[in-house]
Amino acid sequence: EVQLVESGGGLVQPGGSLRLSCAASGFTFSDHYMDWVRQAPGKGLEWIGRTRNKARSYTTEYAASVKGRFTISRDDSKNSLYLQMNSLKTEDTAVYYCARVDHSGCFSLDYWGQGTLVTVSS
Amino acid sequence: DIQMTQSPSSLSASVGDRVTITCRASQGIRNDLDWYQQKPGKAPKRLIYAASSLQSGVPSRFSGSGSGTEFTLTISSLQPEDFATYYCRQHNSYPLTFGGGTKVEIK
């Protein structure tokens, strides 16, 4: 059974940093691209970034809203995905989801974690 | 960036109704579009991928169509468990973008 479990959320002050983790199981993690998606309270979904797999040199893509502040990384030996968030702003307050990219060719998100809440407030 | 415009933003419908949600892309995206369902407090769930392919396990009352710039998600006969928010997302080009969502409520 595919499982994605996020952790690391919490309360952080503006300007602070936080690192989220996503533990994957039930599939060959190293084969898949992985995305981070967030949802501010009462708002819609926002794609924030992607890491490709080893075959694609672990290259990354980011939304403009987080580029230069957030860094996506992965450790295939630990079946884990990470989101390092620096220079946090109040508008980064959201539930953060990790999601698996379907590698059958359609590049949609076929499995999602349950999410972890990040609150940026003084 | 490709803008995804979903309509309506909300709708009220009764059990058994046929419901159609539209998603328009600001430029052509071939069939690089998915639909997701989200219930309150839960993670989104994939319903449709590649514009019209039904996710395994999703009831056949859900269907997707379209290509290029205009796409639709149709629920042929709304069931109580379908009351949720629905999102489209394009994965044709970066940054990937979601539509604003359509909240389907009970009439």
Do the Cβ atoms of B50 and A106 come within 8 Å?
yes
DSSP string, chain B: ---EEEE-SEEEE-TT--EEEEEEESS--TT-EEEEEE-TTS--EEEEETTTEEPTTS-TTEEEEEETTEEEEEESS--GGG-SEEEEEE-SSSSPEE---EEEEE-
Taking one residue from A and the other from B, the number of pairs with CB-CB distance under 8 angstroms is 59
Kindly indicate the confidence band of residue A106, based on its pLDDT and cuts at 50, 70 and 90.
confident
Nearest CB neighbour to A115, from listed B43, B91, B98: B43
Q: What is the model's pLDDT at position B10? A: 97
Residues from chain A contacting residue B91 (CB–CB below 8 Å): 106-108
Chain B's closest residue to A44, CA to CA, is B100
Please list every residue in chain B whose beta carbon sits closer than 8 Å to the beta carbon of residue A40.
none
- Contact residues, chain B, for A107 at CB < 8 Å: 32, 91
Over residues B55-84, the pLDDT tens digits come to 999 999 999 999 999 999 999 999 999 999
**Record: contact A112-B91, CB cut-off 8 A:** no
Instruction: Output the furthest CA–CA distance in chain A (Å, rounded).
Output: 44
Nearest to B87 among A45, A64, A97 (CB): A45
Which amino acid is present at A10?
A: G
* Partner-chain contact A47 B96, CB within 8 Å: yes
pLDDT, residue A115, reads 98
Q: Find chain B residues with C-beta within 8 A of A35's C-beta.
A: 96
pLDDT per residue over A37-78, tens digit each? 999 999 999 999 999 999 999 999 999 999 999 999 999 999
